Amino acid sequence: MATVSFCGVTQSSPERKTHLPSSSPSILPDSHSFRVRTNFSIHSITLPPSNSTSRFIVRCTSTVTDPPPVSETKSKFLNAYKSPIPSIYNTVLQELIVQQHLMRYKKTYRYDAVFALGFVTVYDQLMEGYSSDGDRDAIFQAYIQALNEDPQQYSFCECRADAEKLEAWARGQTADSLVGFSAKTGEGEEVLKDIAERAGGNGSFSYSRFFAVGLFRLLELSNATDPAILEKLCAALNINKKSVDRDLDVYRNLLSKLVQAKELLKEFVEREKKKREQRTEPQKANEAVKSA
């Protein structure tokens, strides 16, 4: 059976490194550098009267947290969804979990609607043809739970709602209006403006393959088929186009392999069904003779 891989993006840092193994061979090394996060905050300051000799009191807390290992995230997923998942789906799901784990615990990680659109697009493409809608939703919830995401912001309904809003906005755009978002006002325009500002260095922004797929989906929906439009949009958003091109190639490859693997699975299921029918035919004939 064909194998598919949607491996994590490699990041590097001169600081402390944690190497995380992947469940299957990856196109890129699946190591990532994590900073130890230190949060130092003043909770309260009590100032004495000006004529008092008492000291003022400053209450502070300092917390240091390490990201959990990828094996822990995978274990949480398996505990949250205990039913068996066919290998054709599970292999890619495990790769997605590795990738999102690496991204989730980056210091610059922040959820946005373009990421949501990309994630929903990838998930729907992967799970297309799965046995039931209920199972697909349950797997999604287990996936989010394993990553310790905020269930209010990152629930299945919220993530899909954000994606659908952006889809609806993109359908009403042209190539020119999509690239010229900064000169316009509107909900979709504000999403892109916020991303451009953060990616330009004025806030937290973490690029990912899900984001690249989200951009690709925006272009699809606005019928912006000219490759030059992607270059202009990346420039307007302060995103590295080379990274987007590379990740879109990986995404297209993934879809192609998924189609092939699902076709092989379909053929296998049909062959097994015919074999079962052939095995039961003599038994049915014998029962018919006995009952005659």
| 228-242 tens-digit pLDDT | 999 999 999 999 999
| CA dihedral over 134, 139, 142, 144, signed as positive or negative | negative
Q: Does residue 122 lie in a domain region?
A: yes
Q: Looking at residue 240, what is its pLDDT? A: 93
Q: Looking at residue 152, what is its pLDDT? A: 57
Q: Looking at residue 252, what is its pLDDT? A: 87
Q: Looking at residue 178, what is its pLDDT? A: 94
Q: Looking at residue 188, what is its pLDDT? A: 93
Q: Look at 201 and 158; give whichever has higher pLDDT.
A: 201
Tokens of 164: 């659908």
User: Please, which residues have CB within 8 angstroms of residue 212's CB and are 6 or more apart in sequence?
Assistant: 118, 243, 244, 247, 248, 251
Counting residues of the chain whose pLDDT is more than 70, the rounded percentage is 72
Whether the predicted pLDDT of 26 surpasses 60? no
Q: Looking at residue 289, what is its pLDDT? A: 65
The Cα–Cα gap between 54 and 81 comes to: 58
Which stretch of 77-81, 111-115, 142-146 has the lowest confidence by average pLDDT?
142-146
pLDDT band at residue 290 using 50, 70 and 90 as cut-offs: low
| Interhelix angle 133-146/70-80, nearest 10 degrees | 150
Please calculate the CA angle 259-155-254 and round it to the nearest 5 degrees. 20
Whether the predicted pLDDT of 52 surpasses 60? no
Residue pair 20/67 in contact (Cβ under 8 Å)? The answer is: no
| Interhelix angle 113-127/87-104, nearest 10 degrees | 160
Q: Looking at residue 62, what is its pLDDT? A: 34
Structural domain including 205 reads 69-253
Residue pair 174/224 in contact (Cβ under 8 Å)? The answer is: yes
Q: Looking at residue 284, what is its pLDDT? A: 65
The Cα–Cα gap between 180 and 193 comes to: 10
Q: Are strands 31-33 and 17-19 parallel, antiparallel or unpaired?
A: antiparallel
> Quick one: which of 39, 37, 41 has its CA closest to 65?
37
Q: Does residue 61 lie in a domain region?
A: no
Q: Does residue 205 lie in a domain region?
A: yes
Indicate the number of domains in the chain.
1
Which stretch of 99-103, 225-229, 274-278 has the lowest confidence by average pLDDT?
274-278
Phi, psi of 63, rounded to the nearest 5 degrees = -125, 140
Q: Does residue 191 lie in a domain region?
A: yes
Q: Does residue 201 lie in a domain region?
A: yes
Q: Does residue 208 lie in a domain region?
A: yes
Query: Residues 58-75: what's their mean pLDDT?
Result: 66
Conformation bin of residue 223: beta by default, left when phi > 0, alpha when psi is -120 to 50: left
Which stretch of 49-53, 89-93, 279-283 has the lowest confidence by average pLDDT?
49-53
pTM equals 0.67
The Cα–Cα gap between 104 and 110 comes to: 8
| CA dihedral over 195, 200, 202, 208, signed as positive or negative | positive
Query: Residues 99-122: what's their mean pLDDT?
Result: 88
Tokens of 222: 């606005």
Q: Does residue 78 lie in a domain region?
A: yes
At position 180, the amino acid (one-letter code) is: G
Residue pair 99/6 in contact (Cβ under 8 Å)? The answer is: yes
Q: Does residue 170 lie in a domain region?
A: yes
Counting residues of the chain whose pLDDT is more than 90, the rounded percentage is 29
Q: Are strands 17-19 and 57-65 parallel, antiparallel or unpaired?
A: unpaired
